[in-house]
Amino acid sequence: MNYQNILVTIANNIATITINRPTKLNALNSDTINDLNKAFKLLGKNKEINVIILTGSGEKAFVAGADISEFASFSIEEGAQLATDGQEKLFDLIENGKTPVIAAINGFALGGGLELAMACHFRIASENAKMGLPETSLGLIPGYGGTQRLPQLIGKGRAMELILTAGMIDATTAKDYGLVNHVVPQADLLDFCNGIAIKIMKNSPYAIGKAIKAINSNFKEGKNGYETEIKSFGKCFGTHDFKEGTTAFLEKRKAVFTGK
């Protein structure tokens, strides 16, 4: 499939999506969100794709925010619809997908860019990365899930300070806060993410999908994470992957999983 603002490459069962608007510091606009929606839906259905890595083009930015020129004149209703559409089309789609998504933060991740990274299942940052939610400096609040996911990841107090001051933190601070898992030199970022992807791919795709669902349910209103875990745990017993995994363990060999 051809995309206007993203590049998709596939190698060794790992898909890499690169947001490709370097002259705009990869800022999110409606076309880019639509491209990402199509790509994540397509890759999510592809049984040959076990992990997705999301990054930005160039050496300056992952995504430096939303494209403000698109919504500067919006009404109240249009603003609410903008947030609704974005969350449904992209941010919730990524978070709730069965295929693990790693955000490779290669530079600025601000506003919608940080919200996009937070929707991924975890984050790896390059040493030059800078992160923040500067929306209050524009008379806005984060609208793509930032007020919800940031407190979940770094705690209410730190999230309050970061959002209310419209501040920006460096990669080391982001790691200290628990916002990113690792910080590596920029030149090593994609190789490092691929290394983690390879570790993930040694395990059952079916179990990984159920684990993502169970972990996410703990943070969703009206959901009981323990109940989701119990049901998902039980369903694993009816799969080929469970039979293969346990048999391989007992036979002291490597398991060959099929995701079924």
Q: Kindly list the catalytic residues.
A: 115, 135
What count of Cα atoms within 13 Å lies in the side-chain half-sphere of residue 199?
6
**Alpha carbon distance 251, 241 (integer Å):** 15
What count of Cα atoms within 13 Å lies in the side-chain half-sphere of residue 157?
1
DSSP letter string over 120-149?
Answer: SSEEEEETT-EEE--GGGGT----SSHHHH
DSSP letter string over 47-93?
Answer: TT--EEEEEESTTTEEE--B-GGGTTT--HHHHHHHHHHHIIIIIHH
Q: Is 180 helix (H, G, I), strand (E, B) or coil?
A: coil
Dmax over Cα atoms in the chain, in whole Å?
65
Instruction: Determine which helix (DSSP H) or strand (DSSP E) holds 159, and give its type and residue range.
Output: helix 156-165
Count how many residues are written for the chain.
260
Q: How many CB atoms lie within 10 A of CB 13?
A: 15
Pairing of β 122-126 and β 182-184: parallel
